[in-house]
A and B are shown apart, each in its own frame.
Chain A
Amino acid sequence: MLMLLFQLGNSRYAVPAREVVEIASMVELEPLPGTPDYITGLFNYRGQHVPVLDLCLLINKQACCNLITTRMILVDFPLVTGGTRTLGLLAERVTETMIIDEQDFTDTGIRIPDAPFIGRATHSEQGLVQQLSITELVPADVQSHLYPVEAV
Chain B
Amino acid sequence: MTTRNDNDAPQLDDCWNRIGVWSKDQASCPELEQVIHCRNCSLYSAAGRQVLDRPTSADYRREWTERFAEPRTKENCDTQSTLLFRLGDEWLALQSSCIDEITPLRSIHSLPHTEGTLVKGLVNIRGELKLCVSLGALLQLDKAHEDYIDDREIHERMISISLDDQSFVFPASEVHGIHHHGEDALQASPVTVSRSKSSFTTGVLKWRDRHIGVLDTELIFYALAKGLQ
Contacts and interface: CB of A to CB of B under 8 A. Distances in A.
Interface in A42-97: 43-47, 62-70, 95-96
Contact of A26 (B49, B56, B69, B71): B56
Contacts of B3: 65-66
Main secondary structure of the interface of B (DSSP, over half): loop
A27 B69 CA distance: 10
Nearest to B9: A67
Interface residues of B, number: 20
Nearest to B70: A46
A65 B4 contact: yes
B68 A44 contact: yes
Contacts of A62: 2
B72 to A, nearest CB: 5
Contacts of B55: 66-68
A24 interface: yes
B56 A68 contact: yes
Nearest to B73: A46
Contacts of A25: 56, 60-61, 64
A86 to B, nearest CB: 11
Given A46-B68, A46-B72, A69-B53, A63 B1 contact: yes
B62 to A, nearest CB: 6
Contacts of A69: 49, 52-53
Contacts, number: 66
B65 interface: yes
B68 A24 contact: yes
Contact of B53 (A27, A64, A68): A68
8 contacts: A24-B64, A28-B65, A44-B65, A44-B68, A44-B69, A68-B55, A95-B52, A96-B49
Interface size class of chain A, counting residues whose CB lies under 8 Å from the partner chain: 20 to 34
Interface string B1-20: 11110000000000000000
Contact of B4 (A45, A67, A95): A67
Given A62-B2, A64-B1, A65-B2, A45 B68 contact: yes
Given A66-B1, A66-B3, A67-B54, 19 more contacts: A24-B64, A24-B68, A25-B60, A27-B65, A46-B69, A46-B71, A47-B69, A47-B71, A62-B2, A64-B1, A65-B2, A65-B4, A66-B55, A66-B56, A67-B4, A67-B53, A68-B53, A95-B49, A95-B52
Instruction: Identify the 7 closest CB pairs spanning chains A and B, nearest first.
Output: A27-B65, A44-B69, A25-B64, A28-B65, A68-B52, A46-B72, A69-B52
Interface in B46-99: 49, 52-56, 60-62, 64-65, 68-72
Contacts of A66: 1-4, 55-56
A66 B70 CA distance: 24
Nearest to A96: B49
A68 B71 contact: no
Contacts of B65: 27-28, 43-44
A64 B4 CA distance: 11
Interface string B108-146: 000000000000000000000000000000000000000
